[in-house]
């Protein structure tokens, strides 16, 4: 009787409560460390209102610069995706631990990790110094990013395949290249299309940004307009970039639908 | 007789004609896009010719890495970067939760509200974090505040979308039981939905934090605080050995963040 009365349907979880308290303490500590104050925030809101007022209406009068930047961004994205996919195919294959010996997978995995750990914009800085200003550095930087992303996922996809088919192809006495093309690639093709379209999409987003460090595309014009306080032109550029990215996303979904069945499209 | 003859003449094909045409169109589109881009892109041959030399020169200038510069110029910036990433993720979660709830069709049965929430999430995702940073630098001035808000606003779309999807997938049994017991709306959230979406939620947050650590390292290039500022300064002064130091620091932090995330994932999920 007493025990039944003492039972609580949802007993308080003291560990969780302590955790939330710690989180709150961290927020207060970090905010004070980074010097976030209410006064600063209010001043910012004031600035923000003026800023937005100057952004509208968007100014499309210098559309030549806009179109030139956007086309260069698209070119960078297309070429970087093509190059990146081409290079990441063998690297991903070398990094798959179920097909390759350890002394091959290790260097390949190191290379992929190195490519993945830097943001494309930072990689672009290095290439701008090495190759000079322009679209070529942007292509190189995004190629590196693509190798990191597709290489990793491609290797993981290959590691998950069924080895029965590989063995069957091997049993017929097929040479190594035929084992790859008939035993391995058909099993990962669907997922590969998924990564490739995703990477094209992601490259399109980043190709509008690498211009900030001088690697071509619309980013350079965007950054310059910001520094000249041409906020109405900035607004025009941002709107066009968003439209471009939407179009890219739609295109990627369409391409996926061509190659994969309906259910797989949703899954990817 | 004739029937078997027509049967023999039929050959099996994997794809329907429409599928084959669609595939061919995609392949053609890819080739055309690559060729057109290749011909149109502006490449300056002189720059390309001396690229190997320039690359060698760059690495020569970067070596030896100025490790002595770490305590004076890099450490504080690195800690600031981590705070920007963490605080940005926390703020994003706080803002993403209401929007995610609004986007979930089972908990918010109003189509216009769903649509508004989805629009907010999509617009947050389609603006790059560097653009968010530029906007907030213009509003709040250079510094970590702009960086944190940039990270937060960029992450809302990601976290909100996945939280909304997790809520939509929640099993309705528990919720009906709670409703039948007369639980108020807020208890439905905390006792009905929260335990169900918790695993998905933590994995999303950890994943986003990992991405945010990488992204917050570049925000300083546009003046939004963190280690990017140190990178920018060193670059503008052509102190390539210090640039190398900053790059090594970023590399180390990114690797450590990834290890931390994988370990936490293994332990709690």
Residue B2 falls inside a structural domain: no
CB distance A78 to A199 below 8 Å: no
Mark whether B168 and B216 lie in a shared domain. yes
Residue A92 has pLDDT above 70, yes or no: yes
Determine the average pLDDT of the residues in A211-234: 84
| Res A13: pLDDT | 81
Q: Does the bond joining A200 to the residue before it have cis omega, within 30 degrees of 0?
A: no
Task: State the Cα–Cα distance between residues B263 and B269, nearest whole angstrom.
Answer: 10
Determine the average pLDDT of the residues in B22-49: 81
Q: Looking at domain A66-267, which CATH architecture does it have?
A: Orthogonal Bundle (1.10)
Q: Do A212 and B130 touch (CB under 8 A)?
A: yes
Question: What size, in residues, is chain B?
Answer: 269
Determine the average pLDDT of the residues in A131-143: 86
Q: Which of A37-41, A226-230, B202-206, B233-237 has the lowest mean pLDDT?
A: A37-41
Mark whether B96 and B134 lie in a shared domain. yes
For A195, residues 6+ apart whose C-beta sits below 8 A from its C-beta are A149, A150, A153, A154, A157
| Res A266: pLDDT | 43
Mark whether B119 and B20 lie in a shared domain. no
pTM more than 0.90: no
Retrieve residue B189's tokens: 């959230």
Q: Give the containing element (helix H, strand E) for B145.
A: helix B144-168
Confidence class for position A261, pLDDT limits 50, 70, 90: low
Mark whether B154 and B31 lie in a shared domain. no
Q: Do A26 and B235 touch (CB under 8 A)?
A: no
Would you call A250 exposed, middle or buried from its count of C-beta atoms within 10 A (0-12, 13-18, 19+)? exposed
Residue B104 falls inside a structural domain: yes
Quick one: closest CA in B to A55, which residue? B135
Among A27, A205, A258, beta carbon nearest to B90: A27
Residue A54 has pLDDT above 50, yes or no: yes
Q: Do B148 and A246 touch (CB under 8 A)?
A: no
Determine the average pLDDT of the residues in B122-142: 84
DSSP secondary structure string, A236-262? HHHHHHHHHHHHHHHHHHHHHHHHS-H
Task: State the Cα–Cα distance between residues B232 and A78, nearest whole angstrom.
Answer: 29
Confidence class for position B88, pLDDT limits 50, 70, 90: very high
Determine the average pLDDT of the residues in A116-139: 84
Task: State the Cα–Cα distance between residues A47 and A95, nearest whole angstrom.
Answer: 51
The average confidence (pLDDT) of chain B is 84
| Res B8: pLDDT | 62
| Token pair 């391409």: residue | A255
Confidence class for position A1, pLDDT limits 50, 70, 90: very low
Q: Do B23 and A44 touch (CB under 8 A)?
A: no
- pLDDT tens, position by position, A176-214: 888 888 888 888 888 888 888 888 888 888 888 888 888
The shortest C-alpha distance from B107 to chain A (Å) reads 22
DSSP secondary structure string, A134-188? SHHHHHHHHHHHHHHHHHHHHHHHHHTS-HHHHHHHHHTT--HHHIIIIIIHHHH
| Res A264: pLDDT | 46
Mark whether B31 and B121 lie in a shared domain. no
The domain total for chain B is 2
Mark whether B221 and B125 lie in a shared domain. yes
Q: With H, G, I as helix, E, B as strand and everything else as coil, classify residue B170.
A: coil
Phi-psi region of B163 (alpha: psi -120 to 50; beta: other; left: phi over 0): alpha
| Res A159: pLDDT | 86
Q: Which of B175, B197, B198, B169 is nearest to B188 (CA)?
A: B175
Task: Quote the domain boundaries for residue B18.
Answer: 12-40
Task: State the Cα–Cα distance between residues A142 and A121, nearest whole angstrom.
Answer: 9
Among B26, B87, B145, beta carbon nearest to A255: B26
Q: How far is residue B22 CA from its own chain's centroid?
A: 31
Mark whether B35 and B82 lie in a shared domain. no
Residue B51 has pLDDT above 80, yes or no: no
Q: Give the mutation candidate from B18, B33, B223 for the A interface (greatest A CB count, under 10 A).
A: B33
The average confidence (pLDDT) of chain A is 83
| Res A185: pLDDT | 86
Determine the average pLDDT of the residues in B67-90: 85
Residue B58 falls inside a structural domain: no
B205: how many CB neighbours lie within 10 A of its CB?
20
Mark whether B129 and B257 lie in a shared domain. yes
Mark whether B128 and B164 lie in a shared domain. yes
Mark whether B90 and B22 lie in a shared domain. no
Residue A59 has pLDDT above 70, yes or no: yes
Residue B96 falls inside a structural domain: yes
| Res B44: pLDDT | 72
Determine the average pLDDT of the residues in B50-79: 79
Start-to-end Cα distance in chain B? 65
Task: State the Cα–Cα distance between residues B182 and B247, nearest whole angstrom.
Answer: 57
Largest pairwise CA distance in chain B: 92
Residue B264 has pLDDT above 50, yes or no: yes
Task: State the Cα–Cα distance between residues A185 and A189, nearest whole angstrom.
Answer: 6
For A116, residues 6+ apart whose C-beta sits below 8 A from its C-beta are A145, A148, A149, A152
Confidence class for position B89, pLDDT limits 50, 70, 90: very high
Torsion of CA B31, A78, A110, A99, to 10 degrees: -30
Q: Which residues of B touch A76 (CB under 8 A)?
A: 41
Q: Which of A138-152, A181-195, B49-63 has the lowest mean pLDDT?
A: B49-63
- pLDDT tens, position by position, B171-226: 888 888 888 888 888 888 888 888 888 888 888 898 899 889 988 888 888 888 88
Q: Which of B234, B255, B254 is nearest to B244 (CA)?
A: B234
| Res A3: pLDDT | 52
| Res B242: pLDDT | 84
| Res A219: pLDDT | 84
Q: Do B47 and A131 touch (CB under 8 A)?
A: yes
Retrieve residue B91's tokens: 């703020």
Confidence class for position B4, pLDDT limits 50, 70, 90: low
Q: Do A44 and B141 touch (CB under 8 A)?
A: yes
CATH of the domain at B149: 1.10.3720.10
Retrieve residue A22's tokens: 């710690």
Q: Do B51 and A76 touch (CB under 8 A)?
A: no
Task: State the Cα–Cα distance between residues B164 and B221, nearest whole angstrom.
Answer: 33
| Res A4: pLDDT | 52
Confidence class for position A5, pLDDT limits 50, 70, 90: low
């Amino acid at each position: 009787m007493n025990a039944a009365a003492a039972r609580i349907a949802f007993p308080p979880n003291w560990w969780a409560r302590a955790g939330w308290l710690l989180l709150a303490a961290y927020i207060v500590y970090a905010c004070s460390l980074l010097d976030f104050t209410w006064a600063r925030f209010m001043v910012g809101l004031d600035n923000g209102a003026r800023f937005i007022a100057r952004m509208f209406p968007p100014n499309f009068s210098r559309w030549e610069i806009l179109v030139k930047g956007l086309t260069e961004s698209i070119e960078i994205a297309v070429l970087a995706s093509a190059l990146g996919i081409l290079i990441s195919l063998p690297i991903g294959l070398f990094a798959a631990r179920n097909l390759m010996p350890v002394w091959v997978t290790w260097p390949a995995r190191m290379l992929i990790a190195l490519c993945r750990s830097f943001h494309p914009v930072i990689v672009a800085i290095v290439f701008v110094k090495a190759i000079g200003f322009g679209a070529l550095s942007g292509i190189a930087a995004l190629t590196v990013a693509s190798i990191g992303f597709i290489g990793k996922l491609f290797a993981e996809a290959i590691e998950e395949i069924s080895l029965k088919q590989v063995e069957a192809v091997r049993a017929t006495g097929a040479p190594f290249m035929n084992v790859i093309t008939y035993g391995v690639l058909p099993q990962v093709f669907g997922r590969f299309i998924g990564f490739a379209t995703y990477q094209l999409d992601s490259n399109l987003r980043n190709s509008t940004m690498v211009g900030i460090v001088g690697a071509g595309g619309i980013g350079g014009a965007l950054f310059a307009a910001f520094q000249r306080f041409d906020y109405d032109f900035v607004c025009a550029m941002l709107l066009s970039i968003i439209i471009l990215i939407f179009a890219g996303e739609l295109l990627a979904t369409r391409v996926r639908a061509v190659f994969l069945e309906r259910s797989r499209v949703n899954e990817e | 007789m004739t029937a078997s003859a027509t049967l023999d003449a039929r050959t099996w094909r994997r794809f329907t004609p429409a599928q084959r045409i669609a595939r061919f169109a995609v392949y053609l589109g890819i080739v055309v896009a690559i060729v057109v881009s290749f011909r149109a892109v502006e490449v300056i041959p002189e720059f390309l010719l001396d690229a190997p030399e320039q690359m060698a020169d760059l690495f020569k200038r970067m070596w030896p890495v100025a490790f002595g510069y770490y305590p004076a110029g890099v450490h504080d910036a690195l800690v600031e970067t981590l705070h920007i990433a963490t605080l940005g993720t926390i703020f994003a979660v706080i803002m993403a939760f209401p929007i995610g709830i609004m986007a979930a069709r089972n908990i918010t049965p109003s189509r216009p509200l769903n649509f508004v929430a989805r629009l907010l999430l999509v617009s947050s995702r389609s603006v790059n974090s560097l653009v968010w940073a530029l906007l907030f630098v213009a509003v709040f001035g250079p510094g970590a505040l702009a960086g944190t808000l940039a990270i937060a606003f960029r992450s809302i779309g990601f976290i909100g979308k996945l939280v909304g999807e997790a809520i939509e997938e929640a099993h309705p049994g528990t919720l009906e039981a709670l409703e039948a017991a007369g639980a108020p709306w807020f208890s439905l959230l905390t006792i009905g939905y929260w335990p169900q979406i918790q695993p998905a939620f933590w994995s999303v947050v950890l994943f986003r934090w990992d991405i945010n650590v990488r992204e917050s390292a570049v925000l300083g290039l546009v003046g939004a605080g963190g280690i990017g500022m140190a990178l920018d300064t060193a670059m503008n002064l052509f102190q390539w050995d210090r640039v190398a130091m900053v790059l090594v620091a970023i590399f180390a932090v990114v690797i450590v963040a990834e290890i931390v995330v994988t370990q936490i994932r293994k332990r709690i999920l």
